[in-house]
Amino acid sequence: MDMKRRAFMAGAAALTAAIGVNRVALAASGAASPGPADKTAASQGERNKQLLRAQREASQMRVLPSAIPGEEDRYNRSSPLGGFSPKVIMVMNDSPRLPGMSQEEAMRIQGGFASQALGPTFISYGPMLAEGDMVIEEWESQIYGANGTLYNNQYLSIQRFEGDQVTEFHEYNDTQHAEIIFGPLGQWPELKPATNPRRRNRHGESRGPELAANEIETVFEIVDEFEMVPRLLADVVPSAATPPVKVAPGVEGNKALVRGLRHAKAKGDPKLVNSFYGKGFRHFVSGERPFGWDHLPLAEIYAPLVEHMASPLTVRYGPLYGDGDRVFEQMDSFARLDDGTVYNNWHAFVHEIRDGKIVQTREYHDPRHVWVTLGRWAEWGKTPVPPRSSPRRSNLQGIASTIQYPTSLGPDLERWRPFESV
């Protein structure tokens, strides 16, 4: 793979029938002490964290050209992948690259903003969440542009290990922010509302199976599926009521709590759902306005979806992964709309649990899809979001590490240029 192609690939990687609540079963699963399999999953997760940290640190030691004789080959144009080469790289967005687009057009889409960057890309990572072969990370990036704008995207990535290698890399990012900052200089094509189930933006060796146009894509194991009632498309109101599940402290108990929340949502009872949330609950939703930490009321954001649904809103959930006080889950949502288009979003959630209640949820999804599909009917969609020049409120709860690497397809800054032989 040549340097331009490698840089482009690195840059591209960086750019939901009712179910009853079985109280006895959930209580038993949550109260049980971790068995050997649970301990093995935890130890495997810690090992994978260490592998990822070590690989990232080693990659950072090669990110600048060496001026020491005989060590010229130490230079490595790094990326957020930290030296790994997954066979599956999947981004939860609609690719701005269209079929038949030339390589020159593709390079412009990725490099339009990057070509006038004022320096390297800085990335800060939050604490890892790992269980079994999965490592989940939240992170944010910053790239300053000469045009006065700041690319400050917010991400969640899922990395699957096989042995010592990352074989799959799935990424959620603020697609709306990416379009606002990268779109104008990259001349991104206008995105139209989808009329069939959407497809993730895939890179790497594996491009996934061929699907019929009306077939919903599945990229994780579906363990729960039901029709979400519209009245749940609203902000939760934390309740002092006790959730209908009894769970013991610890990872398995936390996962049982979130599993119980799914079942409460399947019942369609807002009061039951509210009982899972604790005092002071905050819900971060990735995206610029109307999303963010101080998002508009969810009922207002999703009012166009409720008004124009021509089918039930089906939600499909994947397995739960826990680490300490956090639980991670993925969800796909799908509904057909009355104008022949579809709402088909992809979601990832990190729940913070304290004293048997959820006190914070950070949700990552495809906000550009919401704008394109629902914004055309919404009051909030009438005013475009301007590009920003200052940093956003961070999506992170703490910074475990910060790295830098040459901005993909960015300018040939002197600090990144290999030294000539003397």
Using 70 as the pLDDT threshold, list the residues of the chain that sit under it: 1-42, 78
Instruction: For 103-145, write each residue's pLDDT tens digit.
Output: 899 899 989 999 999 999 999 999 999 999 999 999 999 999 9
Contact yes or no for 145/163 (Cβ under 8 A)? no
- Strand 165-173 versus strand 88-91 pairing type: parallel
Q: Contact 371/176 with Cβ under 8 angstroms?
A: yes
- Quick one: angle between helices 36-60 and 251-267, nearest 10? 100
Identify residue 325 by its one-letter amino acid code. D
Report which of 63, 338, 8 is spatially closest to residue 186, judged by C-alpha positions.
Answer: 8
**Sole residue written with tokens 């649904």:** 309
Which residue stretches of 342-390 are H helix?
367-374
Name every residue whose Cβ is closer than 8 Å to that of residue 67 and which is 6 or more positions away in sequence.
419
Q: Residue 6: what pLDDT? A: 42
One-letter amino acid at 198 equals R
- What pLDDT does 48 receive? 97
Residue 177 is which amino acid? Answer: H
Please give the structure tokens belonging to residue 336.
Answer: 């057909």
For 75, 245, 249, the CA distances from 3, given in Å and listed in that order, are 13, 54, 50
Query: Would you state the pLDDT for residue 41?
Result: 66
194 contacts 373 by C-beta, under 8 angstroms: yes
Distance in angstroms between the alpha carbons of the first and the last residue of the chain: 29
CB 370, CB 179: distance < 8 Å: no
**pLDDT tens digits for range 339-355:** 999 999 999 999 999 99
Q: Residue 414 carries which DSSP code? A: G
CA-based torsion, 160, 165, 168, 169: positive or negative: positive
pTM: 0.89
pLDDT one-digit tens code per residue, 178-218: 999 999 999 999 999 999 999 999 987 777 788 999 999 99
The whole-number pLDDT of residue 27 equals 28
